[in-house]
Structure 1
Amino acid sequence: MCPHEPPCPSAESQDREAARTIAAHPEQGWSLLCNGVVLFEDTGELLPNGVAIAPHRPLPLVGAA
C-alpha cells in the first residue's frame, strides 16, 4: 500500500512509471518504485506479478540533424 499523498499509480496503470522511487541502484541500472515495479535504465520494466515490459525508448526523429 502506497503511503504517499496523493497515492502513486498502481503497477497496472498506464502511468506506473510516475510512482516514486524507493530504492535506486544506478550503478546496477535499476530502480524500485513505490508500486513494486522495477524500472531498468533501458526503459524496460518488471511488474510485481512477474510480467516483463520490453524497453520502450522513443524513436529518433526522421530528418533531425
Structure 2
Amino acid sequence: MTEQRKAEIVSELKTIAETFKPSEDEPILDMFVLISRYNATGKNAELIGGDWVIENCPEPLKSLPA
C-alpha cells in the first residue's frame, strides 16, 4: 500500500470519527463501528481492520475501544 493510499484511508477514518453521532444502536464510537462504517463506504478494497488502524492511525483513532 502506498503512503498516499494510507493517507486517504486515515482521512476517511478521521471523517467518520468526526461526524459520528451516538444512536441507540451505536452509543459509542468503537473500533467495530469505525470499521463497519468504513466498510459501508465501499472503499475498503484493502480490507483493513482494527489492527491496521492501531498501526497506522493517530490518536484518538488507534485507541478506540475494541
> More helix per residue: 1 or 2?
2
* Bigger Rg over Cα: 1
TM-score in terms of structure 2 length: 0.29
More strand by share: 1
